[in-house]
Structure 1
Amino acid sequence: MLWRAISEETPGPKWAGLFAEYWPHYRKWWLKEGESVRPTYAECRRALKTHMPEMVPLYEELCEQAGGGDLAARFLSFYCPPPYLSGCSQAVWGGREPVLVRNYDYNINAFDSLVLHTGWQGRKVMGTSDGLFGLVDGVNDAGLSISLTFGGRRVVGVGFGVPLILRYVLQICETTEQAGEVLARVPTHMSYNVTVLDRKRKYLTAFMAPDRETLITNAAVATNHQETVEWISHARFTATVERERYLLQRLRFHRDPEEKFIGTFLKPPLYSHAFNAGFGTLYTAVYRPRKRQMELRWPGTVWPQTIDNFEEGARNVLLPGAA
């Protein structure tokens, strides 16, 4: 699996080149249910202006870099995208240096495998790309880190794909409290659990859903269900309850030192080999908001990056268990 790390202060030729490379695949995914099912450009822009007004100038700039096409603009809005599922585990380790750790379990053939470092709108952000605009986890120059897991519900509604919501939080927020306010008001098209940790050690997990109000909690652990299991077959297949219990035990009873706690994410039951079913662990991410630092980890490999000393490059990674 080839990973790349790309840095660009403002949307320009690097991002445009990436979009040209990825767009044929994303276009096929975006249209898999038919073009008429997706919102129009006017609807997409109106939704952004209503719920994420600060992002509209950036959105328009990215649309221009993408070539100005109608379909590309609708895709980049992340508004009412096709449904998609993931696995994932995440937890806040509350030691002397607070850490947000997560596993991303997803389809290896539908993933950017890209770390983006940007200075868009004067805010430095780095994280794991999704759709070249959104992020599935990341940290900003204010020391705010964020991560998502699928919420384990089949309901699909009117709202944004959650990776853009994470990007929005990192672009405009500096504290966990501010992030909670954003997560409580921006609509999502599916159910997701979003965990936030800031440099002052404050954290929250937001249980987001398209058909009910967002619940802001002080949960330090999130897997693939919310308050209760609602999709039983998915819960059994992904072992969401077992993973949650395992993490809670590590935090409450074992009180592992930081490195040992991080290491548990690289082993069963947290590390998944279900690549053939689209739920294999593609990477482990470690965020240290005080240091504004992230690490990508795989068994035997650590790739560190910092906001102020980001290094572009590429890594070929061998995923144990992947064909």
Structure 2
Amino acid sequence: MDWQKCAEDAATRYIADIAVRELVLAEIRGAERSADPGPRSSDVAFHAVREDGLRRLFDQRWPAYRRWYLQDGAARPSLAEARAALERHMPELVPAWSALVAAVGADELGARMLTLYDPPPLLSGCSQAALEGGAALVRNYDYDPHLFDAVVLHTQLANTRVVGMADQLWGLLDGVNDHGLAMSFTFGGRRCAGRGFSIPIVVRYVLETCATVADGVAALKRIPVQAAYNVTLLDRHGDHATVWLAPGEATRVTEHRVATNHQGVVDWPEYARWTRTVERFDHLDGLLDRDAEAVLAGMLQPPLRSADYEGGFGTLYTAVYRPESGEVAYHWPGATWRHSLEVFHEGAFDVELETAVTLA
């Protein structure tokens, strides 16, 4: 059974609340973000871009983003409601959002989408771990390559430099800032949903405004999210935390160094079996007494690395963030792409994911 069929069957059978079920099904069945997906392929063209390139990206991708934003027929928040939510929960981002809207020439709908308040939710897989030796945050991002922006983004929207893997134009799947804080997230594997922010804008906010794990945890406790997520933070002092978020519930802060796609216990058995979340958690947890290179090697092979690209659920990259130096390396078996806050070269990096080699 492929990714979409398994998730769709589980959502239809086990989510009783109609509104929640339709929210989840909309993401599972979601329209491709590319304008013309064509034949399914595991070739991905990654791009390294600075913030002055966001206008070009928006021009290229707005038609696809628009389809994605409106795909489920749900009434998205009005501009006034979306802006008010941003002002209430992440006021420091409002000037950057306003400047971004003007810079990319977004219309009213584009401005609403760029708040990332209550868009279609993001249900990815993923594995991540905060390592003690050398203070590194290691993560696999598991998702459909056809729903992936594949953009490494370097920004200084205000006073903080940030580099990370972008999503939804200026949100972040993972990243590091010049204060020495790194973070990433996984889907929490639960069937709850609610009105809140898309998790990539929350990651953006934390990295823009926080310097330590304690700062990041305090921010995460007060920002509403639309689905369940596990957020792992690591700072240059070696402090770490994995925070379990869920809409309408109190934030739970744990000392776990590992996160996959459940929150302590399995809440959605069908999803857990499909993503092998418990198997991945146990395997990664068992690697923590080894050095960073051994953990990285483990992340690049099963059961942590998935190659189900045809089914829409494969490992798109393995990232190693080092908060003390502000460096990040994106890995595939046989290929590595390095960036940092200090040394960032714009350009393309093409990868054939199934064979995990760079393309000439």
Mapped pair 1:2 → 2:58 = no
Per the alignment, residue 269 of structure 1 pairs with 303
Q: How many residues align?
A: 313
What is the 5 A alignment of 1:78-227? Answer: 78-95=116-133, 97-227=134-264
Partners of 1:304 and 1:83 in 2: CA distance: 30
Deviations 1:45-102 (A, max 9, x none): 000000000111111111112324111011101111112311100001111x111000
Q: Could you say if the C-alpha distance between residues 321 and 212 of structure 1 is closer, same or farther in structure 2, counting changes exceeding 3 Å?
A: farther
TM-score by length of 1: 0.95
Question: Where in structure 2 are there 5+ consecutive unaligned residues?
Answer: 1-43
Matched residue SS, 1:17: helix
Q: Cα RMSD (Å) of the superposition?
A: 1.1
Mapped pair 1:292 → 2:326 = yes
| Deviation, structure 1 residue 228 | 1.0
Deviations 1:204-240 (A, max 9, x none): 0110010211101111000000121111100000000
Mapped pair 1:17 → 2:75 = no
Partners of 1:67 and 1:61 in 2: CA distance: 10
| Deviation, structure 1 residue 278 | 1.9
Deviations 1:137-195 (A, max 9, x none): 00001110000100001211011000000000000000000000001110000000000
Deviations 1:294-317 (A, max 9, x none): 000011011111101111121111
Per the alignment, residue 305 of structure 1 pairs with 339
Please identify, of 23-32 and 270-279, the stretch whose mean Cα deviation from structure 2 is larger: 270-279
Partners of 1:201 and 1:153 in 2: CA distance: 29
Letter matched to residue 50 of structure 2: S
Maintained 8 Å contact 1:250/1:256? yes
Maintained 8 Å contact 1:275/1:321? no
TM-score by length of 2: 0.85
Partners of 1:241 and 1:257 in 2: CA distance: 22
Matched residue SS, 1:206: strand
Q: Percent identity?
A: 47
Mapped pair 1:70 → 2:96 = no
Maintained 8 Å contact 2:137/2:321? yes
| Deviation, structure 1 residue 39 | 0.6
Mapped pair 1:55 → 2:89 = no
Letter matched to residue 309 of structure 1: V
Deviations 1:87-128 (A, max 9, x none): 100001111x11100000011011110100011112100000
| Deviation, structure 1 residue 257 | 2.0
| Deviation, structure 1 residue 279 | 1.4
Partners of 1:295 and 1:4 in 2: CA distance: 14
Question: Where in structure 1 are there 5+ consecutive unaligned residues?
Answer: none
| Deviation, structure 1 residue 321 | 6.3
Maintained 8 Å contact 2:122/2:199? no
Partners of 1:231 and 1:321 in 2: CA distance: 32
Per the alignment, residue 315 of structure 1 pairs with 349
Matched residue SS, 2:287: helix
Partners of 2:200 and 2:106 in 1: CA distance: 22
Per the alignment, residue 32 of structure 2 pairs with none
State the 4+ residue runs in structure 1 displaced beyond 6 angstroms.
none
Partners of 1:38 and 1:321 in 2: CA distance: 40
